[in-house]
Amino acid sequence: MVTFWLKTVWFFASGIQARSHTDSLQDADSAQSGYLPSHNLCPKSIINSKFTLSWKNDLEPNEIIFAKPLVYTPPWLNSEQVITVSSLNMVRIIDGLTGKLLKSRILAPPFQAVDARCTEAGSTIGITGTPIIDPDSSVLYLYSKGYKGGVSGPRGTLAGQYKLYALKLPSLSDVSGFPVVVEGPAENDKSRYFLGGTVLQRASLASVGNSIVAGFAGHCDNFNYTGMLVAVSKIPRVGVTSIVAMMASPGAPQPQELNYTVAKGGKAGIWESGMGFAVDDDRIFFATGNGDGPGDNGSGLPANGKKAISTLQQTTSNFIVTRNGKLKQQDYFQPYNYQALNAAGRDFGSAGVTLLDEDVFRGRGVRRIAISGGKSGRIYIMNGDDLGGFANVLQSIDNAKSLFSGTGSYPREGGYIYFNPLADYLYAYKITLASNGKPLFVLAGKSNITLNGRSTPTITSFYGRIGTGISRTEQRCIGTDICTLNRELDKVPQISIW
Ligand SMILES: *[C@@H]1O[C@H](CO)[C@@H](O)[C@H](O)[C@H]1NC(C)=O
Ligand SMILES: *[C@@H]1O[C@H](CO)[C@@H](O)[C@H](O)[C@H]1NC(C)=O
Ligand SMILES: *[C@@H]1O[C@H](CO)[C@@H](O)[C@H](O)[C@H]1NC(C)=O
Ligand SMILES: *[C@@H]1O[C@H](CO)[C@@H](O)[C@H](O)[C@H]1NC(C)=O
């Protein structure tokens, strides 16, 4: 379950002045639509200008950055700051223009990979999920993995602990009442316990009302974990408000596996290759991974997603976050072949969920479209207000290659979606209407080279003007110091790719 990592922090300059509307306070827009309209790059400036490396900062040996760097312009400044967090539990604030380190803090000694029995995430496991900034309070929220008592490891798996930090910007000092230790029974199955040592926080954090919501998966599918969804209040001293297990009784494997070393806890982790949850008001949407056993699909017959199930394996799930921070299951979609996907290691949860702009992407009876996909390569188009339950879906699009990143969108010039499976082309599909009036996406073009597919396409436009859309995906550099920025312009309509 590894997505892109960075050995060095890169920053490319394009002669653009810092503007706060280009800040990135979380991994993408809250709907995960991928569209950021108010940017000041247009295709012409990309074609005509050469991108040069503006600055580069080296990390410590064995330090890895999994989380997306955030960009933040504090209200008292007019220059952007870049915030990075790492596998060593190191938080850095860097001047966006000069690359100068302004502030750094190591939160606690990180958890050691030897105690996770998994080296997928490098030799230490500190901060792996993208944090989120609350711009009203200038507070940065993040999960950090270490050991109980803040000691250095290795100390064994069960000594591991997850804490949610709330750090004031720019001092990086703790908000009073934080950090909050996450630990305890799942409320939908009290015998299933959140054990910090056995789980990994990878999906980007979401903020809903007064709650910070996060998903947890496993380390290489080791241990008796089940995927967990956790809400913690932003209000000091309220603490954890909800812990929900993705596999619970009845339906989860019986008898419950109580030997923590045995990987039969049900699984269904939430990791999404690091993507965030799609948020629409008080609704959150996310994907879950492979599970153990057949779960609730007793009959194998189509089922309504509004009827709650206790085994949310290989699903697109929709919960609401109540005002007092309770997480309530509302709806789900589960592909008909989820057991075959379990058996083949074709994890549905390797990409998150995208919610599209409801003014453009709609059709008869469908106001809000949700999209997800996973290692099987199949992209599922769903009605966000009625996900489909077991085996019902609006449309599916098959690709040979696995999706390890989400779908981006451009709600202008007709409406397009973009996705880039692993080592495959960047595909563009346009929304049309089928003869029954329902939305139907049709292939509009693809890039003329393959890309690594490790990041969700982000589409920007020059202050929303027609003809200025740019789809951006991160191209991982392998073995070389300088990455070539690809400029593939002619094959995908309306959108330039570089
Ligand atoms: C895993 O085992 C531990 C230790 O016995 C137990 O507390 C926990 O509830 C188990 N996990 C699950 C998901 O059942
Ligand atoms: C837990 O399972 C492991 C691996 O199967 C085994 O070696 C160990 O003895 C078990 N522990 C207990 C307390 O049963
Ligand atoms: C689940 O549903 C599928 C599709 O209908 C069916 O092939 C499979 O046998 C079902 N599994 C169980 C355990 O009933
Ligand atoms: C892809 O298209 C661009 C823009 O037209 C062109 O410059 C480039 O040579 C093409 N690359 C390949 C591999 O065809």
pLDDT lower than 50: segments of the chain: 1-19, 477-498
What confidence score (pLDDT) does residue 475 get?
Answer: 60
246 within domain boundaries: yes
Atom 5 of ligand 2: nearest residue by CA position? 262
For residue 28, the cross-strand partners are none
Q: Which residues line ligand 1 (CB under 6 A)?
A: 191-193, 224-226, 256-258, 260, 265
pTM above 0.95, yes or no: no
Q: What is the pLDDT of residues 33-85, one digit of tens each?
A: 999 887 777 777 766 666 678 888 999 999 999 999 999 998 888 788 999 99
469 within domain boundaries: yes
Question: Which ligand gives the minimal distance to the CA of 265?
Answer: 1
What confidence score (pLDDT) does residue 482 get?
Answer: 32
Best of 260, 261, 264 to mutate for ligand 2, by most ligand atoms within 8 A of CB?
261
Cis previous bond, 250, omega within 30? yes
Phi, psi of 81 (to 5 degrees): -120, 145
Atom in ligand 4 nearest the alpha carbon of residue 447: 1
Best of 259, 260, 262, 264 to mutate for ligand 2, by most ligand atoms within 8 A of CB?
259
Centroid of ligand 2 to alpha carbon of 261 (angstroms): 7
The CATH code of the domain that includes 419 is: 2.140.10
Phi, psi of 466 (to 5 degrees): -60, 140
Centroid of ligand 4 to alpha carbon of 414 (angstroms): 25
Instruction: Return the ∠ at Cα 125 (arms to 139 and 80), rounded to 5°.
Output: 35
Centroid of ligand 4 to alpha carbon of 488 (angstroms): 6
* Alpha-helix runs per DSSP H in 369-498: none
Q: What is the pLDDT of residues 176-227, one digit of tens each?
A: 999 999 999 999 999 999 999 999 999 999 999 999 999 999 999 999 999 9
Cα separation values, 331 from 285, 294, 310, 384, Å:
9, 19, 12, 9
Number of neighbours of residue 364 by Cβ within 10 angstroms: 10
Question: Which ligand gives the minimal distance to the CA of 491?
Answer: 4
- C-beta of residue 52 within 8 angstroms of C-beta of residue 483: no
How far is residue 485's CA from residue 464's CA, in Å, rounded to a whole number? Answer: 23
1 within domain boundaries: no
Number of neighbours of residue 104 by Cβ within 10 angstroms: 12
How far is residue 29's CA from residue 157's CA, in Å, rounded to a whole number? Answer: 35
How far is residue 52's CA from residue 118's CA, in Å, rounded to a whole number? Answer: 37
Half-sphere exposure of 195 (CA within 13 A, CB side): 22
In percent, the amount of the chain with pLDDT more than 70 equals: 90
- C-beta of residue 165 within 8 angstroms of C-beta of residue 179: yes
The residues, ordered by sequence, that sit 6+ positions from 170 with a Cβ below 8 Å of its Cβ are 74, 81, 93, 102, 103
Which tokens in the block code for residue 373? 């996909």
How far is residue 27's CA from residue 39's CA, in Å, rounded to a whole number? Answer: 16
Best of 292, 296, 297 to mutate for ligand 3, by most ligand atoms within 8 A of CB?
297
2 within domain boundaries: no
Which tokens in the block code for residue 419? 């996705």
Question: Which ligand gives the minimal distance to the CA of 302?
Answer: 3
Taking Cα atoms as reference points, which of 153, 102, 6 lies closest to residue 483?
A: 6
Phi, psi of 358 (to 5 degrees): -75, -15
Outline where DSSP puts E strands in 311-383: 316-321, 327-334, 354-355, 369-373, 379-383
Name the residue range of residue 46's domain. 8-497
Instruction: Return the ∠ at Cα 463 (arms to 458 and 467), rounded to 5°.
Output: 75
Residues belonging to the chain = 498
Centroid of ligand 1 to alpha carbon of 193 (angstroms): 6
3 within domain boundaries: no
99 within domain boundaries: yes
Total tally of structural domains belonging to the chain: 1
Centroid of ligand 4 to alpha carbon of 480 (angstroms): 22
